Amino acid sequence: MDLDFGDYDAPDYFTEDMIPEDMDLSDLDLSNIPEDVLEQLMAKYFQNNYETYDYESDPQPVDISYVEHFKDCGLPTLQQAIQIIGPLLLLSVCVKLSAVTGFPKVLVHLLSTATGLVSLYLFFHTSLHFLITFSILGYSLLFLLDQTNYQRKGAACAVMCLLYLLTLELFVAEPTEWHKVRGSQMILAMKIISMGFDLDTGQIPSLPGPVEYQGYCFCVGSVIFGPWTSYNSYLEVVQSSSLNWRWLFSGIFAVFLSLICLLLSTCVSSILFMTTEYKWLQAYRDAFSFRTSHYFVSYASEATAILVGFGETRSDDKITWNIPVARPWRVEIPRSLGEVVVSWNLPMHHWLKAYVFKISRPLGQFPAVLLTFMASAMLHGLNFQLAAVLISLAFISYIEFGLRKKLADAFSACILARSCKPECVHNYRTFHPIVLLMNLVFGLLTIFHLAYLGVMFDTDSSLQEEGYDMSHTLNKWSELDYASHYVALVTFLCYWLI
């Protein structure tokens, strides 16, 4: 069976003095993305409500009223979230309605640009000039390359984006200011690079005009949370005249799921294992909080993308809207670490597969995998913590893939890192007791790795303001005795000996 391992991808905030006691949104600086907002809200909530109790010195059961907990944590959190993402949802609807009501296409592009810039200002205020400058540089380079008939536009755009982002982070922007806009900068870089490669391959016949280009770059449906979308899919949004109740229902349902994940991250995970001193349960709790905060952002991005018109699908005269960003169930109940990496961020996974892995595949399987993870790390900025996690994921998932491939061939069993297709030729199929047991063991091992790798994504605002450094990451891992890396080493020895 020909298995493609390389379809993987792996992954800013209110400071404490910006969060007033009464949690009034009118006093908040909305220049930060909600993934860190929710973490800071959680930290502030527990500082206000539980700072007088020392759980470490007295790990006795505490009588907590879950009703009061929901009133104190759940309701304010939901109110804050709705007030933060509400404007994005309304602006997305405006762009969609302009497209279906027959506005001239140039006006739809201009409205897409304007609403995106308004959204950026609401979240980042004057820091949006970094993104405006970036988009102008991107188009200037594409125009110059197009005029000179240069045949490697994608590679040139990738180099330009890398140099621009590194220059900003190292020499221009303040650390706190940079971390605010890092997510949107990453999405914009992915759009510019993908446009360059698509021009090379002919998927985009000719360079778009500046109005169309800016409408794509600043489309309100993806400019804040993501997801990455191709230029051709953006044109489909502008040209579509479809609208029905499924569109609205799909958008509202995505908002509902995002709010559920927000509550899990801020109010549920915070009381998980609250009185335990066992470090691995605490690690799982912290990692779970981080993962659910990511799901919140993923579903919020799905909602804005659907409401602006992405994800339209026609089947038997039925029109539906669906643009999945993450698959939480495949992360929380995983088959393998590779499946987790793919399911974490599907649009970025597709981007990395198309514009990094396939291009570097001639170098070999493992070099292409490693370059894919390195590209993901560089898009996220010079962040040792994230780079360490992504590189660790590359090695651990590759080792797991290789080991399970050898075991599947040796025992003719469906224990590959990916689920077997219905026509597989293994003797021992998916529901055989031994196969179920082996897949369960590997699934539990994946949960172990996730707790270890995600433990350093905590809510320490003093570190978040400038990014986590090397010492923070190594200290977190040392508290868990570097267990995941040792397990990976043992796994590699098993892979090498078989």
pLDDT digits (tens, 9 = 90+) for 5-18: 344 343 343 344 44
pLDDT band at 466 (very low <50, low <70, confident <90, very high): low
Q: What is the mean pLDDT of the chain?
A: 84
| Given 380, 432, 472, 485, the catalytic residue | 380
pLDDT greater at residue 37 or residue 175: 175
How many Å apart are CA 100 and CA 103, to the nearest integer? 8
Per-residue model confidence (pLDDT) at position 461: 44
Per-residue model confidence (pLDDT) at position 417: 92
- For residue 179, which of 188, 189, 169, 171 has the smallest C-alpha distance? 169
- Contact present, 107 and 161 (Cβ < 8 Å): no
- For residue 43, which of 13, 75, 12, 67 has the smallest C-alpha distance? 13
Residue in this structure with the two tokens 């985009």, named with its chain if needed:
204
pLDDT digits (tens, 9 = 90+) for 245-288: 999 999 999 999 999 999 999 999 888 887 778 889 989 998 99
pLDDT digits (tens, 9 = 90+) for 199-212: 999 999 999 999 99
- For residue 183, which of 454, 389, 468, 380 has the smallest C-alpha distance? 380
Would you state the structure tokens that stand for residue 230, as one six-digit string? 């191709």
How many Å apart are CA 381 and CA 244, to the nearest integer? 40
How many Å apart are CA 110 and CA 113, to the nearest integer? 5
pLDDT band at 299 (very low <50, low <70, confident <90, very high): very high
**Which letter does DSSP use for residue 354 in this model?**
I
For residue 20, pLDDT over 50 is answered with no
Per-residue model confidence (pLDDT) at position 70: 79
pLDDT digits (tens, 9 = 90+) for 144-179: 999 999 989 999 999 999 999 999 888 888 888 888
- For residue 447, which of 330, 348, 276 has the smallest C-alpha distance? 330
How many Å apart are CA 58 and CA 72, to the nearest integer? 24
Q: Which helix (H) or strand (E) element contains residue 221?
A: none
Mean pLDDT of 296-306: 96
pLDDT band at 1 (very low <50, low <70, confident <90, very high): very low
How many Å apart are CA 445 and CA 277, to the nearest integer? 22
Preceding amide of 20 cis, omega within 30: no
Cα separations in angstroms, 440 against 5, 416, 428: 20, 12, 15
Would you state the structure tokens that stand for residue 414, as one six-digit string? 């469906």
pTM: 0.84
Cα separations in angstroms, 481 against 273, 401, 437, 476, 489: 21, 24, 27, 9, 14
**Which letter does DSSP use for residue 75 in this model?**
H
For residue 302, pLDDT over 90 is answered with yes
* CA angle in degrees (0–180, nearest 5) for 10-328-29: 75
For residue 40, pLDDT over 80 is answered with no
Per-residue model confidence (pLDDT) at position 468: 61
**Which letter does DSSP use for residue 28 in this model?**
S
End-to-end CA distance of the chain: 19
Q: Give percent of the chain with pLDDT exceeding 90.
A: 58
The dihedrals phi and psi of 314, each to the nearest 5 degrees, come to -110, 130
Least confident of 177-191, 373-387, 419-433: 373-387
Does residue 380 have an active-site annotation?
Answer: yes
pLDDT digits (tens, 9 = 90+) for 50-76: 433 343 444 444 455 677 877 888 899
Bridge partner list, 315: 318
Would you state the structure tokens that stand for residue 264, as one six-digit string? 């899990």
pLDDT band at 422 (very low <50, low <70, confident <90, very high): confident
How many Å apart are CA 146 and CA 439, to the nearest integer? 51
Mean pLDDT of 313-338: 91
Mean pLDDT of 26-34: 44
How many Å apart are CA 34 and CA 258, to the nearest integer? 11
Q: Give the count of alpha carbons within 13 A of 337, CB side only.
A: 29
Per-residue model confidence (pLDDT) at position 52: 38
- For residue 31, which of 157, 119, 108, 90 has the smallest C-alpha distance? 119
Mean pLDDT of 435-449: 95
Q: Give the count of alpha carbons within 13 A of 462, CB side only.
A: 1
Bridge partner list, 413: 428
For residue 31, pLDDT over 60 is answered with no
Number of other residues whose CB lies within 10 A of the CB of residue 243 = 17
- Contact present, 301 and 222 (Cβ < 8 Å): yes
Q: For residue 318, give the 3-state DSSP assignment.
A: strand
